[in-house]
Amino acid sequence: MESRAKLLRHPIHQMLIPLPLGLLSGSVAFDVVHRMTGDDTWSTVAAATIGAGIIGGLLAAPFGVADWAAIPDGTRAKRIGSLHGLGNVAVLSLFGASWWLRHEQPRATETLPFGLSLAGVALAAGTGWLGGELVDRLGVGVDPGANLDAPSSLSDQPAQPARGTVEQVFGRPESLGLT
């Protein structure tokens, strides 16, 4: 199933998600450094990073919804996509609450905002795995003719699967040391 929302023939949602994931998980790392060093600058950096991560997540979400809407109802992909999307709403909510609790005094990270961020990054690991399951295992957002020798997505040529018998593609079993 190909992605509905593309830029230069690549799925936009898959292009945008690394930024918020990196920012939100990075904010937890900055909070840890703050707790280890006592340097309040790191807490301020964490708060700003959370804000940027939330914005990035909100920018990626509509493209994910567009791709999810194209998945046929009643499929495993639709169920996993629903869990992935709802889980990411929860991730952004946890980080949003963390940001809200610290926005007036970002230099003083208390236990609750830090705990919300930890919960958010743990949940993001699970929703990220679900997203990987959608793309890598179920082929959502992948060109239907994807293969290792497909021409560039910027060419006008379709990505056609390799043709031929197993022996033509991989060689004779004895040449591979399989006999």
- Whether 132 and 169 map to the same domain: the answer is no
- Whether 174 and 89 map to the same domain: the answer is no
- Whether 158 and 105 map to the same domain: the answer is no
Q: According to the model, what pLDDT value does residue 12 have?
A: 83
Helix or strand run (H / E) with residue 3: none
Q: According to the model, what pLDDT value does residue 177 have?
A: 64
- Whether 151 and 130 map to the same domain: the answer is no
Which residues make Cβ contacts (< 8 Å) with residue 147, sequence separation at least 6? 159, 160, 161, 162
- Whether 81 and 16 map to the same domain: the answer is yes
Q: According to the model, what pLDDT value does residue 67 have?
A: 87
- Whether 70 and 151 map to the same domain: the answer is no
Number of domains in the chain: 2
- Whether 54 and 111 map to the same domain: the answer is yes
In a domain, 97, yes or no: yes
| Local structure of 71: helix, strand or coil | coil
In a domain, 1, yes or no: no
Structural domain boundaries enclosing 163:
146-179
- Whether 128 and 172 map to the same domain: the answer is no
pLDDT in tens, 70-106: 888 998 889 999 999 999 999 999 999 999 998 887 6
In a domain, 59, yes or no: yes
Q: Tokens 């919960």 identify what position?
A: 119
Q: Which residue positions in the chain have pLDDT lower than 70? A: 1-3, 106-109, 143, 145-151, 153, 159-179
- Whether 150 and 132 map to the same domain: the answer is no
- Whether 166 and 122 map to the same domain: the answer is no
CA distances from 93 to 41, 89, 111, 152, 155 (A): 24, 6, 17, 38, 41
Q: According to the model, what pLDDT value does residue 98 have?
A: 95
Q: What is the pTM of this model?
A: 0.79
Q: According to the model, what pLDDT value does residue 45 have?
A: 94
- Whether 92 and 35 map to the same domain: the answer is yes
- Whether 159 and 126 map to the same domain: the answer is no
